Amino acid sequence: MEKFARPKSPSRKRWSIGLSIAVIIVIIIVIVVPLAVLLPERGHKGQKSAVILPLYIYPSNSSSWDPLYEALDAHPELHFLVVINPSNGPGNNPLPDDNYSAQILKLNNYTNVETVGYVRTGYATQNITNVAEEVATYAGWDTQNNSLAMHGIFFDEAPHEYSADAVSYMQIVNQVVKNSTLQGAKTVIHNPGVIPDSRFDDSTTDITVIFEESYPVYQTKVTALTDLNKKNRTEYAYMVNSIPTQSLNALRSYVDTLSEHAAYLFVTNNNQNFYDSFGSMWSDFTAVIPT
C-alpha cells in the first residue's frame, strides 16, 4: 500500500515559521547593531558643515601635518578650509621656505582642501599698503603650475566695533583680495572673534568668525549667537577651544548644535596655544562633522 507523509499540523507549521523569523532577527541584531556602534551615523542631526583650521604648526618635518592628512584621507567628502600662516603673515620672502613649500604642495593636491593665507589687520590699524603687499605675496605663490597657490585670505584681528574708518578699511582690503591674482574663489574671511557690528556686513566678505573663545564662554553667549539669522549660517564660523573631555556621541551632539548656526567649525580641547597642535580631540572632531 502506498504510504503518504503525514501533513504537519497548523500549530507546528506556525511554530516553525516563528522560529525562522526569530533566527533572522537574531542574525540582523548580531550584524547590524555592532556596525551601528562601530560606524556611527555621520551628521544625522546637524547641518552640512566644513572644517576651518588655523594651521599655525611649522612643518619642521614631513610628519608634522600628518593628523591633517589622515583626516583628509578618512573624510574625502568633508571640506577643509586651511589657514596657512608661516610668520604672522607670508613672511619676508617671495616664496615660503622649503619645508612649507613641500607641505603646501602636498596639501593643495587634495580636492577637499581650500588653502587661504593669514594676514593681520591689527583691528584696522595696520598700514593698508602693508596689508596689500602681504596679499600680493600670497598671490605670488601661484608659481610652479599653481602648486603653492592660495585661494583666499584670512584677515585676523578684524574690527568689530563700528567706525566709518574701520568699515572703509575692511572694504578696501576685501577688494584688494578680490582684485588679486589669488586662485579659486578668492575667499575673504574676517576674524573679529565676536559678533561684529552689522555695518561691517559687505558682499565681498564671504565668511566671518563670530565666535573664537573657550567652551565655557560659549555657554554664556549661546542666546546672542543663535539669535542671528539661521539663513546666514553659510557666512559664519565658530572656533571653540578648551572643550572638555567627552564621549564621541556627546561631541557629535555639540558639533551638531554648532552646525545649526555656522557652516565652518573648529573645536579643540587645547586650552592654550590653540592652533599650535592638533589636540587629542582632532580625529574625533573631524569624524562627527555633519556632511
pLDDT of residue 230: 67
pLDDT of residue 5: 39
Distance CA 42, CA 287 (A): 7
Query: 24, 244 in Cβ contact below 8 A?
Result: no
Q: What is the mean pLDDT of the chain?
A: 88
pLDDT of residue 143: 73
Report the candidate in 145, 30, 137 with the shortest Cα–Cα distance to residue 84.
Answer: 137
pLDDT of residue 145: 60
Percent of the chain with pLDDT over 90: 80
pLDDT of residue 227: 87
Distance CA 155, CA 9 (A): 80
Please report where in the chains the cell 614631513 appears, as a residue.
62
Tell me the H-state helices in 109-188. Answer: 128-139, 143-146, 164-178
Backbone φ and ψ of 11, nearest 5°: -65, -40
Backbone φ and ψ of 188, nearest 5°: -105, 120
pLDDT digit string (tens) for the chain, length 291 residues:
333 333 444 444 444 444 444 444 434 433 333 433 334 444 458 999 999 999 999 999 999 999 999 999 999 999 999 999 999 999 999 999 999 999 999 999 999 999 999 999 999 999 999 999 999 999 999 875 668 999 999 999 999 999 999 999 999 999 999 999 999 999 999 999 999 999 999 999 999 999 999 999 999 999 999 888 767 899 999 999 999 999 999 999 999 999 999 999 999 999 999 999 999 999 999 999 999
Buried b (16+ CB within 10 A) or exposed e, 110-147: beebbbbbbbbbeebebeeeebbebbebbbbbbeeeee
Backbone φ and ψ of 117, nearest 5°: -90, 150
Q: CA angle at residue 237 from 199 to 60, to 5 degrees?
A: 125
Query: 260, 47 in Cβ contact below 8 A?
Result: yes
Query: 205, 160 in Cβ contact below 8 A?
Result: no
Query: 164, 124 in Cβ contact below 8 A?
Result: no
pTM of the full predicted structure?
Answer: 0.84
Query: 73, 65 in Cβ contact below 8 A?
Result: no
pLDDT of residue 184: 94
pLDDT per residue as tens digits for the range 141-176: 987 566 899 999 999 999 999 999 999 999 999 999
pLDDT of residue 231: 73
Q: CA angle at residue 220 from 213 to 42, to 5 degrees?
A: 70
Residue ranges of domains in the chain: 44-288
Distance of CA 254 to the CA centre of its chain: 14
Which CATH number does 44-288 carry?
3.20.20.80
Amino acid symbol at 89: G
pLDDT of residue 35: 35
